[in-house]
Structure 1
């Protein structure tokens, strides 16, 4: 990675990717996905790389386990990643436990030039009782963990070697993992939604990285009924729960980045009203239950052309270009779900098209499926202190990039989203709980 020393600071790359589709068509989609992912890594040359995956293993984890192992092995051993000599991989493989399984996978890669990186031990256990890592290379061996957090002190441990944790993540001390309480789930029906949290100390900065998967819209018709939708309220409650957990009194507060599949949707009622301003609506009901099963919006003139058909899992708008023109940013006014958290969370300006739902046809890279209204589901959000960390690192040269991966290539039904930035030398010192714990040499 020639030229690395030319730019000051520590290069960080955060990526979120719902990868469920990759395990349904591993031959085609995984190759595309990995190629595009490696291009982003090569372009930004991060010292620290975090990849948060949701729906890891696809719809049937047990049937996909061989594909999962192959995917993980490829990431850890590829030539592109050979300069990353330390890694931590956390895979929730507990698919037999309905109460605990989240299908989340978190990958962290550390470049060989990054020295003295520490990870937080949430349970504060001695290192010899770490829970059954699958070890690649050497294991954790640091015998002098850092403690500088006052009465609530736990331990930071130096990161060495490459390790995969995949059994019962609940007992793994280097992370916190939770599935949302059952009452948070729509109609109390279990699904694979929750979060995984890790904490790192890099370049004098301590920060949390949270992998998250929130609830989807079960029905387009229900989402259309009210503004905001009932599903938006469920996501609001769940995200609030996660943020409260991050900043509760158990641990010293740190800056945090929350990135994953938030399932944020455009305000459906407002979108339909805008797209179909001059349309008339036809309602079709089930003969036996009188339940609304379909809405058809037709132009008032122009031979009553059908503009939009709406069903539980159908959003068929006649002109997909509205979601692609100028990267769909005209629709950002309907992206309202994050506004509830404007005093707690920050996001850089979005300039990429909606990240979901893309066609899963490997020959179609830009086409949306007609199952849902396209939306920016996949996001990278941060605390206000993390925002200051990034902005403090800005210079005349543009060093912050917030974008999606694989704009013209099929990456599955979700396009991965990334945030690349640099932590400027000394940027974290006012907030650092561990003094000079990381030095890039």
Structure 2
């Protein structure tokens, strides 16, 4: 049994040219045998006008010289923006290296695996595509019951006697910094928790055999705003500015001395902190104590140790690749999570450094407001099969 590295790359809004180059550099560095790309907000904010650019990007990717040894591919793009009930703007792209033999993909309608041959792109109504399961969250899950592009896509794979699910996900954002600040945890955190539980319940129900799974995408996880602000402004006084309707419009935190210097201003879409270095220094790990949204799922989901700065919200100024926008409190929105059984699949040979790499792409380059995140690892043949002998195999790069 032979199986190589797997590289999982997640990205949201990005500059196609820059991402294309940096992603291919990452692929060439890690040399994956199975490459998975999960995209959110396909087409960007003006998707009606930009979908054609997405199609061109995918064509360039499929014909790239750097991926010429990936002769099999499956591309799923939810471009049906006219269907408010179903549109998620998710994109799931999978590339299989020539050296990886006998890879199969699950047919959810026939309930059996089928051999993967050639390259296929599906961009019409994905609801009828048998090789994936796609759903938009129920309307009553959406804040204020207003439709937006949030949901998930699941695919299922088998190779070298290993079987697993890959789930592309996009959860709800924080609509207002002021609302997020009101209580700990915020009401937005509760909405994301409900939606993530919905996905986990769907992919582990009784309709299909339960397998190890990886969930990666834009979870929109945020730091606990109230607690972060209390830490950042522990010695400051707060001024509340209200509208004519007595609604809170702005919060201003000032030092008690030093000429009452303003250190933080918060509005609905403003989070202007005086020192962004706190989010970059040592990759912002001093603030990980406030990254608590995953703790609710600690028995169901695991994650490799985070060693990169918050992935959002980066400046969209091409000259400011490391700068955060003053719109939201920086947070690790983009994540790669896995079930306990999937975590057990990750192979880390003794005396081999960096056999598992969890990092971002282009830390100094602007690619949009999210920084792409990837996970590279190797798995042992037989993983994901309860009765398989995991030791009788050879694992290579």
Could you tell me the TM-score, scaled by structure 1's length?
0.87
Q: Structure 1 residues 425 and 393 mapped into 2: Cα distance closer, same or farther (>3 Å)?
A: farther
Does structure 1 residue 102 correspond to structure 2 residue 102?
no
Q: Structure 1 residues 440 and 300 mapped into 2: Cα distance closer, same or farther (>3 Å)?
A: closer
Report the CA distance between 1:34 and its aligned residue. Answer: 1.1
* Helix, strand or coil at the partner of 2:62: helix
Match of 2:231 among 274, 298, 319: 274
Match of 1:17 among 11, 14, 26: 11
Residues 342 and 384, structure 2, Cα contact 8 Å, conserved in 1: no
Partner of 2:216: 259
Does structure 1 residue 419 correspond to structure 2 residue 366?
no
Alignment of 1:371-386 (within 5 A): 371-386=327-342
Report the CA distance between 1:66 and its aligned residue. Answer: 2.0
* Helix, strand or coil at the partner of 2:71: strand
Report the CA distance between 1:430 and its aligned residue. Answer: 3.2
- d(CA) in 1 for partners of 2:384, 2:351: 20
Match of 2:185 among 219, 222, 228: 228
- d(CA) in 1 for partners of 2:387, 2:201: 20
> Which region of structure 1 is more displaced relative to structure 2, 393-402 or 337-346?
393-402
* Helix, strand or coil at the partner of 1:412: coil
Partner of 2:73: 87
Residues 254 and 263, structure 2, Cα contact 8 Å, conserved in 1: yes
Partner of 1:146: none
Report the CA distance between 1:426 and its aligned residue. Answer: 4.2
Alignment of 1:159-178 (within 5 A): 159-178=116-135
Question: Cα deviation per residue 1:112-149 (whole Å; 9 max; x = unaligned)?
Answer: 1111100000000xxxxxxxxxxxxxxxxxxxxxxxxx
Q: Structure 1 residues 182 and 415 mapped into 2: Cα distance closer, same or farther (>3 Å)?
A: same
Report the CA distance between 1:363 and its aligned residue. Answer: 1.4
Residues 247 and 253, structure 1, Cα contact 8 Å, conserved in 2: yes
- d(CA) in 2 for partners of 1:90, 1:439: 30
* Helix, strand or coil at the partner of 1:163: strand
Alignment of 1:100-179 (within 5 A): 100-124=86-110, 154-179=111-136
Partner of 2:265: 309
Partner of 2:58: 72
- d(CA) in 1 for partners of 2:86, 2:350: 44
Report the CA distance between 1:439 and its aligned residue. Answer: 10
Residues 11 and 39, structure 2, Cα contact 8 Å, conserved in 1: yes
Does structure 1 residue 346 correspond to structure 2 residue 302?
yes
Q: Structure 1 residues 211 and 431 mapped into 2: Cα distance closer, same or farther (>3 Å)?
A: farther
Alignment of 1:402-413 (within 5 A): 402-413=358-369
- d(CA) in 2 for partners of 1:407, 1:169: 33
Structure 2 stretches lacking a partner, 5+ long: none
Residues 206 and 431, structure 1, Cα contact 8 Å, conserved in 2: no
- d(CA) in 2 for partners of 1:365, 1:393: 33
Does structure 1 residue 46 correspond to structure 2 residue 1?
no
Partner of 1:212: 169
The RMSD of aligned alpha carbons is 1.7
Match of 1:331 among 283, 287, 292: 287
* Helix, strand or coil at the partner of 2:206: coil
Report the CA distance between 1:425 and its aligned residue. Answer: 3.9
Residues 113 and 440, structure 1, Cα contact 8 Å, conserved in 2: no
Q: Structure 1 residues 431 and 420 mapped into 2: Cα distance closer, same or farther (>3 Å)?
A: farther
Q: Structure 1 residues 321 and 121 mapped into 2: Cα distance closer, same or farther (>3 Å)?
A: same
- d(CA) in 2 for partners of 1:338, 1:252: 25
Structure 1 stretches lacking a partner, 5+ long: 1-7, 23-28, 125-153
Partner of 1:3: none
Partner of 1:5: none
- d(CA) in 2 for partners of 1:118, 1:439: 19
Q: Structure 1 residues 185 and 347 mapped into 2: Cα distance closer, same or farther (>3 Å)?
A: same
* Helix, strand or coil at the partner of 2:386: helix
